[in-house]
Structure 1
Amino acid sequence: MKQIHVLRLTLVVALGGLLFGYDTAVISGATQALQTYFSLSPAQLGFAAASALIGCVAGAAIAGVLSSRYGRRGALIVAALLFLVSAIGSAVAASDFSFIIYRIIGGIGVGIASMVSPMYIAEIAPSEKRGALVACNQFAIIFGMLVVYFVNYGIALLGPESWLNQVGWRYMFGSEAIPAGLFLLLLFTVPETPRWLAMKGRNQQARQLLQACNPSSDIEPLWRDIVASLEHKSVSIREQGLTGLVVIGVLLSVFQQVTGINVFLYYAPTILKGFSNSSIDIALLQTILVGAVNLLFTVVAIFTVDKFGRRPLMMIGAGIMSVSIFAIGTAAYFHAIGGYLLFFVLAYIAAFAFSLGPVTWVLLSEIFPNSVRSKALSIAILAQWVANYVVSQTFPIMNAKSGWVYQTFNGGFPFWLYGVMGIFTIVFIYRWVPETKGRSLEQLEMLWHKQPESAVFGEKSHSH
């Protein structure tokens, strides 16, 4: 088998991340048009906008079974088909009910891709480059969001508002068919992962592929580790003593969300408009600035995660996020609102982008043993989408000016709450999350199997 360039495989599979970002953000430019075209009440509009999240939860729930049975590539092909069906269906939907169904279908694709894309990359990447390559998936997610902001803006310029409300919004959703179709076609050019092939007993193919991905390395030690790791394949998570490890994965996912990131991604124009007397146009421009900072500092993570390690980036980032969001909450409480708060918003976004954003995905893709990776990762990503939904639904309630929480704390409470969660995140990372930099997936697995579960939650978190 000729040499396989892992970077090319990463870029193809990261298109799943791009579609993740594209699909979740495409609705941002069409909410007003949807409300007008389908005569939606505010509650109906909210459900139409959030319906994709229902699909995300379902997709994460089935991704483990799909990727175990049909392979990592097979699961991604299913996701690509769902993206394509959702894009075309949403564009031609004749009623709000059918529109919601197609958005849920797209959400299922997002849920599958959100789990399988980073897992595929982790399973084919050399250990010394794994962090950077998995972080490329987060870059693709943010890039997908930025791309669709500009696509929506370009479509909106094609005609007057009446045209946008009647026809233009359909082009916004239909535009996703282009990257979805490209993703589907390119997936047929990538192989399965060697670890999944080994799991299925296809050892000759697995060895050849492993050598093709690591042409200048002696793969025999790694191959022996992979074979040894699969001795546990018929044993459950609990029987392997890995329940605590799954809890770590779930908490990593939850802390990524409860520190408030999606509040800024989903409600940025509303929040930024509240910080000054600027118009909504200025707030939208600042939102693009938020997206650009997010993208730039994700690149910082790509270049530093394998050099400095996972734990330092996570703790430093969570610390900056907490300080920034406490400052925002305190300014709101004391009515000290002003344009200067944009600095703290951008600092918060930058910190997330080089830490909790990409590095959480890196850790989730590499901490679980081969034999349970699909199932355990599916549980962790399911928890992530549930936490995302809870945070996204509770922020508008806490931020409602007529509510007791807002009136008591002048709008500062939700930001303080996210700041406290950031402090909990630092303690959690320091106490319970091990450093994984530079180790093969099988070396990490031996760490769990050689130690009792209590050690996984103890001294091992400080090992390098």
Structure 2
Amino acid sequence: MNQQTEQGSKAYLISIVMVAVLGGLLFGYDTAVISGAEKGLQAFFKTAQDFDYTDGWHGFTSASALIGCIIGSAISGFLATNLGRKKSLIVAGLLFFISALGSMDPEFLFFEYGQPTYTLALMFNFYRVIGGIGVGLASAICPMYIGEVAPSNIRGMLVSWNQFAIIFGQLVVYFVNFFILGDHLQPLVEDIGKQIAEITPAAQWTVTTGWRYMFGSEAVPAGLFALLICFVPETPRYLVSIGEDKKAEGILAKINGTAKAQQILQDIKDTMVVKTEKLLTYGALCIFVGIMLSVFQQAVGINAVLYYAPRIFGDMGMDNPMILTVFMGIINITFTLVAVFTVEKWGRKPLLISGSLGMALGAFGVAVTFGHAGLEMLTAASLLVYSASFMFSWGPITWVLIAEIFPNTIRGGAVAIAVAFQWISNFIVSSSFVPMFNMHLSEGDDFGHWFTYGLYGIICVVAALFVWRLVPETKGKTLEDMSKMWKDKLTNK
């Protein structure tokens, strides 16, 4: 028996985790691609003759993928339990791929190319919902997959890499959109609603073609993910749940070494005596904490910033908002790495609490300074503080906790519920941001600006209190320890 078999192979573990992490990259890519495409898309459909593409229509189109995310996350538990983690991720990859090509060419087979109509708008949104289902599946199952294959002492770090991949995917698509745009320009406000021939010449290509390339670019990483996921193993915990103990032990041995594999396998089997338990077997608090972690991750308002970043920076008077958006993406990547390398040292709760307070500071800073002449750079700095604080806390750590706090026997269903609430909250925040931001008590006032970010700041403070009082610290605990932890909490009521 060689040393690698005795101690396990880190290279093997890293290789399968990196493939799973590609699902996170697609998650970030798909949700952020709209930021560069939405203005050209709006101008395109505004030229339709058979219906009025209103701001409400555009808000729905920009957020329609989130409807798919809600559906995908809601069915993720069923698919993960019945198909397995691996096959469910293959389904997600195929949905990503179909959505990318369909969003690029929604006219395919049924409609005249380049002619915006009511039915074409519906077809475009259908393809975006398909991609959203893939995002919903990936968002729930990728952290679950990584959490179930990773050793407990580095599980938090490895699951955090999934969030890094999400933010990296967003950064990649910011760059891709930037390079696709090239010398072309986004349509101006006065271009929206004009016929193509009347739109500023430098923006015409963006309106007719540019947004298509942005959506279509996702087909490359989507196809790669769908292919590579075929070569990773199923998770040991799922294999034990369907009676494939030998296969599970073989995978555990490759990751942890033969001696430790037997011990881990026995721990898994001890918590899998009953394969299915009711969701509330471990108490309502267990489910409530998972749901509220998801709700707070979105209620703090971060995706309103990520989805509308170029528009926000443009409203602040920035000459080239895409450049500042790319810079924000780099900041986000940097601070996500802070979480990756500190989550096992500092723990989950300290990162969440400090991140909440940093976000509150940034949000209140934006609320006070936005729209005031001469304070634009302070507003931008506050926005970056707000975003960076999220990236080392609620961004990655929420996924770590959702992947690990639920006992084995209810994990599939509990994760599905928690992530579904996350996407519902995301949809509410994303669709309410523009109307809230544009609210006025009197003509020309900035009520909506300070109200929106002031509200986000208050929610950040409440989130910190929630973590302090109710969220358990899971650093260093095995997934099998979760059953005992929640049963003890239930007994000690």
Same fold (TM over 0.5): yes
1:274-297 deviation digits (Å, cap 9, x = unpaired)? 44x433x1x322221111111110
Q: Which amino acid aligns with 2:27?
A: F
1:173-224 deviation digits (Å, cap 9, x = unpaired)? 2211111111011011100000000011111111111111112752333222
Match of 2:256 in 1: 214
Q: Which runs of 5+ in 2 are unaligned?
A: 48-52, 108-119, 185-201
Q: Which runs of 5+ in 1 are unaligned?
A: 456-464
Structure 1 contact 241–453 (Cα < 8 Å) conserved: no
Q: Which amino acid aligns with 1:7?
A: I
1:92-119 deviation digits (Å, cap 9, x = unpaired)? 2112221111111000000000000010
Q: Distance in 2 between matches of 1:328 and 1:128?
A: 39
Q: Distance in 1 between matches of 2:213 and 2:396?
A: 31
Q: Which amino acid aligns with 2:392?
A: F
Structure 2 contact 335–388 (Cα < 8 Å) conserved: yes
Stretch deviating more after TM superposition (150-159 or 13-22): 150-159
Cα distance 1:192–1:445, how it changes in 2: closer, same or farther (>3 A)? same
Structure 2 contact 369–378 (Cα < 8 Å) conserved: no
Match of 1:19 in 2: 26
Deviation at residue 42 of structure 1 after TM alignment = 2.8
Structure 2 contact 282–483 (Cα < 8 Å) conserved: no
1:12-69 deviation digits (Å, cap 9, x = unpaired)? 0011011111111122222233233333433322222111111011101111100000
Cα distance 1:177–1:274, how it changes in 2: closer, same or farther (>3 A)? closer
1:304-319 aligned at under 5 Å gives the runs 304-319=342-357
Q: Distance in 2 between matches of 1:390 and 1:148?
A: 24
Match of 2:115 in 1: none
**Is residue 267 of structure 1 aligned with residue 274 of structure 2?**
no
Q: Distance in 1 between matches of 2:443 and 2:81?
A: 45
Q: Percent identity?
A: 44
Match of 1:129 in 2: 154
Query: Which of 91, 100, 113 in structure 1 is aligned with 2:125?
Result: 100
Match of 1:182 in 2: 224
Match of 1:231 in 2: 273
Structure 1 SS opposite 2:376:
coil
**Is residue 194 of structure 1 aligned with residue 219 of structure 2?**
no
Deviation at residue 335 of structure 1 after TM alignment = 7.8
Cα distance 1:88–1:334, how it changes in 2: closer, same or farther (>3 A)? closer
Cα distance 1:272–1:165, how it changes in 2: closer, same or farther (>3 A)? closer
Match of 2:169 in 1: 144
Where has structure 1 moved over 4 Å in runs of 4 or more?
1-4, 332-336, 403-408
Structure 1 SS opposite 2:449:
coil
Match of 1:32 in 2: 39
Structure 2 contact 174–329 (Cα < 8 Å) conserved: no
Q: Distance in 2 between matches of 1:406 and 1:213?
A: 61
Query: Which of 32, 37, 43 in structure 1 is aligned with 2:56?
Result: 43
**Over aligned residue pairs, what C-alpha RMSD do you find?**
2.2
Structure 2 contact 437–452 (Cα < 8 Å) conserved: yes
1:411-434 deviation digits (Å, cap 9, x = unpaired)? 211111111111111111111111
**Is residue 155 of structure 1 aligned with residue 180 of structure 2?**
yes
Q: Distance in 1 between matches of 2:392 and 2:443?
A: 32
Match of 1:460 in 2: none
Deviation at residue 171 of structure 1 after TM alignment = 2.1
Query: Which of 85, 91, 97 in structure 2 is aligned with 1:78?
Result: 91
Structure 1 SS opposite 2:377:
coil
Cα distance 1:328–1:172, how it changes in 2: closer, same or farther (>3 A)? closer
**Is residue 252 of structure 1 aligned with residue 293 of structure 2?**
yes
Stretch deviating more after TM superposition (437-446 or 161-170): 161-170
Match of 1:278 in 2: 318
Q: Distance in 1 between matches of 2:402 and 2:244?
A: 26
Q: Which amino acid aligns with 1:85?
A: I
Q: Distance in 1 between matches of 2:484 and 2:374?
A: 53
Q: Distance in 2 between matches of 1:424 and 1:377?
A: 23
Q: Distance in 1 between matches of 2:258 and 2:244?
A: 23
Structure 1 contact 19–144 (Cα < 8 Å) conserved: yes
Structure 2 SS opposite 1:438:
coil
Q: Distance in 1 between matches of 2:364 and 2:38?
A: 31
Deviation at residue 406 of structure 1 after TM alignment = 8.9
Cα distance 1:347–1:130, how it changes in 2: closer, same or farther (>3 A)? same
Cα distance 1:271–1:157, how it changes in 2: closer, same or farther (>3 A)? closer
Deviation at residue 371 of structure 1 after TM alignment = 0.7
Structure 2 contact 33–215 (Cα < 8 Å) conserved: yes
Structure 1 contact 335–410 (Cα < 8 Å) conserved: no
Structure 2 SS opposite 1:452:
helix
1:126-177 deviation digits (Å, cap 9, x = unpaired)? 1111111001111111111111122122222287643333233322222111
Match of 1:120 in 2: 145
**Is residue 339 of structure 1 aligned with residue 340 of structure 2?**
no
Structure 2 contact 440–446 (Cα < 8 Å) conserved: no
Match of 2:110 in 1: none
Structure 2 SS opposite 1:36:
helix
Match of 2:194 in 1: none
- Paired residues in the alignment total 451
